[in-house]
């Protein structure tokens, strides 16, 4: 694993929550780090199996839950039944534009979104923890198709 900070952070989280520290959990973490895009749990599991891992599907799902709880990854639905995940640890805040036809997810950063979130939270007397904007539309590749929803 080429990022010792994330490993230390996860170890500290597991100890604090009194979860077992196992090599399998760190194998899942390594697979998450190696994945450079949004992924789903079954896809990650199959990728790990293809690469020779012996980690069970249950361990992948349970570890993804712990990685989400720790803030290392985020879980999104993007309007789908299937949850998608992405690595957040050490990354810059960003938002998503999702194509309703092909499912492509593109990321963008814009400081105005953060300001809007802070203003909205303050207006409603909330303490802001996080803000992510998801924009749904039709990507340029799909715009010409006749079967738009």
Q: What is the CATH number of the domain that holds 112?
A: 3.30.1490.190
**Residue 58, domain member (yes or no):** yes
79 in the same domain as 120? no
11 in the same domain as 74? yes
Q: What is the pLDDT of residues 62-96, one digit of tens each?
A: 999 999 999 999 998 876 677 889 998 878 888 88
**Residue 119, domain member (yes or no):** yes
pLDDT of 149 above 70: no
**Residue 76, domain member (yes or no):** yes
Q: What is the pLDDT of residues 127-138, one digit of tens each?
A: 988 788 889 999
What is the reported pLDDT for 145? 61
Element (H, E) at 33: helix 23-34
Domain that holds residue 100: 95-137
CA distances from 20 to 16, 31, 58, 59, 139 (A): 10, 19, 15, 12, 43
Query: What CATH number is associated with residue 29?
Result: 1.10.10.10
**Residue 28, domain member (yes or no):** yes
* pTM recorded for the entire structure: 0.77
Task: Find tokens 């899942």 and name the residue.
Answer: 28
Helices vs. strands in the chain: H and E counts, helices first: 5, 5
């Amino acid at each position: 694993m080429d990022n010792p900070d994330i490993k230390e952070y996860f170890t500290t989280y597991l100890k604090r929550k009194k979860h077992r520290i196992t090599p399998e959990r760190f194998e899942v973490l390594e697979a998450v780090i190696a994945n450079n895009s949004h992924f789903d749990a079954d896809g990650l599991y199959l990728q790990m199996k293809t690469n020779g891992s012996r980690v069970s599907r249950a361990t992948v799902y349970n570890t993804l839950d712990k990685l989400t709880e720790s803030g290392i990854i985020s879980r999104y639905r993007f309007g789908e039944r299937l949850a998608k995940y992405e690595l957040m640890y050490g990354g810059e805040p960003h938002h998503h534009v999702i194509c309703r036809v092909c499912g492509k997810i593109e990321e963008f950063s814009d400081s105005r979104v953060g300001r809007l979130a802070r203003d909205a939270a303050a207006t409603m007397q909330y303490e802001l923890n996080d803000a992510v904007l998801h924009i749904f539309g039709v990507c340029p590749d799909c715009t010409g198709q006749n079967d738009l929803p």
